[in-house]
Amino acid sequence: MLNKMFRNKFPFAYNYFSNLLELVEQNKRNFPQAIIFEGTDTKMQYLFALELARILNCKKDKTNNCDCINCKWIKSHSHPAINNVSQIHFKGEDDESKTVISAKQAREIEKALTLSSDYHRFFIFFSSREKEYEENELECFEKLNYSQDINFSIEPLTYNTFHPTTPNALLKSIEEPPIRTTFIFLTKAREDILPTIVSRCLVFKLSGQKENLKFDEIIPLLQNYPNINYTNAFDISLNFQNYMKETNKTLDNILNEFLEYLVYLLKQNIENIDYYQKINNDILITNEMIKYSKANINDKIVLDTLFLRIARGY
Ligand SMILES: [Zn+2]
């Protein structure tokens, strides 16, 4: 569903949301109500947010070429339920503030949420000013068939634009929004946002460059981690065995890569208690398996056991 372009840019978020969007479609999970994207490429974060909104609102096949009215509206930046919130967006008539996202805007949002909606509503927060774009500057929009006809910049939130009094006025809306409502905050780093907001959000690090992490190669082998179950545990073990053969890495090498990946995930998800505990538990299992790998137990047995135990949860 999500465009492969994001797979290279934001491998972790791509995997996470691909999996989540499927579960949402099957009514097994709700989409999170508050999300922070942090990283250097705010334009791509914005596009990623729009794509999530598009897939959640699409009435047809969710593909990139979908011609349903929701996809068309979102791609032309005119969907009635997808709201930009910045110093120059979502301002009420009596709001004189021009340099900050104001508490008045937070109250406008609260008011808007009292009305029911047929859509999955999005409020995308970022810093912005009027801007004319050079040719090719919005290439990433073009790649996904989005209109490039926008006249505002897309910049990270900071304490200057997202003033501390505004987040406080927002807390109630974020905590108890109507169903199918999502707040997304675009930032460079979570430290630029008030901690009371951060603690209510899922935080995703969306780095603008391809992250050159040691564990890059094992992410596709893991299918939809953390959703490992008895059915796919052996497939994943087999993927790892093949990966060892292809790369001539030892069992100890790849278990440490996996461990590094888990630690990375853990750091990204400190605020999300369920997910945090699950990863923490898988780290303990992996550490135990690293001990076995040093005891010269057959590679296949160690890997089968690792993923079966992760599926089982202990
Ligand atoms: Zn559609």
Whole-number Å distance, alpha carbon 135 to ligand 1 midpoint, is 28
- Give 25-42 pLDDT, tens digit per residue: 988 888 999 999 999 999
Whole-number Å distance, alpha carbon 205 to ligand 1 midpoint, is 27
Within 8 A by CB and 6+ apart from 161, the residues are: 86, 87, 99, 100, 101, 127
Whole-number Å distance, alpha carbon 66 to ligand 1 midpoint, is 5
What is the dihedral sign for C-alpha 78, 83, 84, 86? Answer: positive
226 or 211, which is more confident: 226
Whole-number Å distance, alpha carbon 57 to ligand 1 midpoint, is 7
- Give 291-309 pLDDT, tens digit per residue: 888 888 899 999 999 999 9
pLDDT of residue 211: 52
Within a 10 A sphere around the Cβ of 51, how many other Cβ atoms? 23
If you classify domain 5-205 with CATH, what class do you get?
A: alpha beta
Whole-number Å distance, alpha carbon 182 to ligand 1 midpoint, is 19
Whole-number Å distance, alpha carbon 76 to ligand 1 midpoint, is 13
- pLDDT surpasses 70 at 234: yes
Whole-number Å distance, alpha carbon 224 to ligand 1 midpoint, is 24
Whole-number Å distance, alpha carbon 61 to ligand 1 midpoint, is 6
- Give 36-74 pLDDT, tens digit per residue: 999 999 999 999 999 999 999 999 999 999 999 999 999
Per-residue pLDDT band at 267 (split at 50, 70, 90): confident
Within 8 A by CB and 6+ apart from 313, the residues are: 278, 281
Cβ atoms 120, 81 nearer than 8 A: yes
pLDDT of residue 224: 78
- pTM reported for the whole predicted model: 0.71
Q: How long is the chain?
A: 314
Question: How confident is the prediction for the chain on average, in pLDDT?
Answer: 90
**Domain definitions of the chain by residue range:** 5-205, 216-312
- The helix, strand and coil proportions of the chain, stated in percent and rounded to the nearest 5, come to 50, 10, 40
Cross-strand bridge partners of residue 183: 34, 123
